[in-house]
Amino acid sequence: MPAISRIKPVTRKGKKALLKKEPQLIENTKETFCLKGKNTSQIVKDFMKDLYDLKKPNIQMMQEKNDILPFENIVPIEKFAIKYEAPLFMMALHNKKRPHNFVMGRMYEHTLLDMIEFGVENYKGLKDFKVEKIATGIKPLLIFNGELFENNYEYGRIKNLLVDIFQREVVEKIRLQGLEHVLSFTAVENKILLRSYRILLKKSNTRTPRVELEEIGPRADLLCRRNKFASEDLFKQVCKKPKELKAKKKKNISTDTLGTTFGRIHVGTQNIDKIQTRKMKGLKKTLSEKKSVQKRKIADDNNDSATKLQKVD
């Protein structure tokens, strides 16, 4: 493999831009590359080809076999990631100890971030389902079933990796007719069940159509084997949000444990004596209160007249 030359930064600004990658407001669609190991089985090759068909056009397939074992030496894959400008990768392997082996992973700044190894079981491919397929480039709905995705640390990281691999561009608005594809991942004991469905919108007596799911493949049970995850500090650095996306804290607004929002309003001092109230017996002033109000008015008038005389003099 020829050596890949990099342009060395000269200025201080260039060094900062190349050495420290700033978080982006909206990430571009991540590219993925697929490669085959020295020994592969037809099952894992067909499975990778099905995922390739679902992810087109943001994926590249390498035809030649590569003598690479990613859990022993990741450097060749990192070089491929630089060459193809693809931070995500899939690899098909097979041996007697780990039959029908399938590896998924992702890079951060051209170095390995996360990697998981699956064993493909009970596989049924796209071509085995004799139904209508989805169009190329459709953004899938990702569904994760099972408490393990929420309660188990390793399954939580696998979920994050799967979202990173199968998501596409950011969508601001959703059209109901544009929802065509569903990828379902169900976490069970030491396995993740992958199912793929096409969404069918049927007529109903209401404004909202009746939704049915038709399995289109591929179908596979992914046996969780080895994994290599990034450290907590590095993972937090990778998931750091830009300042523009952080929600600004609003003053005088609080939320209780039930989610109710409360606002605090600051008003100036009010003269309660001058507020017009309803003429009710319970709100009428007593005789002593009336006399005190009259005395206060007389005192205010005397003060005003005294100040006017001083100005005239």
In a domain, 279, yes or no: no
* Predicted confidence (pLDDT) at residue 276 exceeds the cutoff of 80: no
In a domain, 62, yes or no: yes
| Reported confidence tier of residue 61, pLDDT bands at 50, 70, 90 | very high
| Reported confidence tier of residue 278, pLDDT bands at 50, 70, 90 | low
Average the pLDDT over each of 27-41, 168-182, 198-212 and give the range with the smallest value: 168-182
The confidence score (pLDDT) of residue 3 equals 42
**pLDDT tens-place string over residues 149-203:** 999 999 999 999 999 999 888 777 877 777 889 999 999 988 999 999 999 988 8
In a domain, 247, yes or no: no
CATH code, domain with 184: 3.40.50.10480
Q: How many CA atoms lie within 13 A of 280 on its CB side?
A: 4
Structural domain boundaries, residue 62? 28-227
| Reported confidence tier of residue 295, pLDDT bands at 50, 70, 90 | confident
Residue with tokens 């931070």: 87
**pLDDT tens-place string over residues 140-155:** 999 999 999 999 999 9
In a domain, 123, yes or no: yes
6-15, 145-154, 272-281: which is most confident = 145-154
| Reported confidence tier of residue 255, pLDDT bands at 50, 70, 90 | confident
In a domain, 130, yes or no: yes
Helix (H, G, I), strand (E, B) or coil at 235: helix
Dist CA 277 CA 199 (whole Å): 63
**pLDDT tens-place string over residues 75-107:** 999 999 998 889 999 999 999 999 999 999 999
Task: Give Cβ neighbours of residue 94 (< 8 Å, ≥ 6 apart).
Answer: 37, 39, 40, 41, 44, 100, 101
* Total number of domains in the chain: 1
In a domain, 308, yes or no: no
* Predicted confidence (pLDDT) at residue 246 exceeds the cutoff of 50: yes
User: What's the length of the chain?
Assistant: 313
Query: What is the arithmetic mean of pLDDT over 19-28?
Result: 57
Which is it for strands 101-108 and 111-124: parallel, antiparallel or unpaired?
Answer: antiparallel
Helix (H, G, I), strand (E, B) or coil at 3: coil
Query: How distant is the alpha carbon of residue 173 from its chain centre?
Result: 16
List % helix, strand, coil for the chain (3-state, nearest 5).
30, 30, 40
Please state, for a pLDDT cut of 90, what percent of the chain lies above it.
47
In a domain, 277, yes or no: no
* Predicted confidence (pLDDT) at residue 245 exceeds the cutoff of 90: no
Dist CA 151 CA 155 (whole Å): 8
Sign of CA dihedral 293, 296, 298, 301: negative
Dist CA 242 CA 148 (whole Å): 30
In a domain, 281, yes or no: no
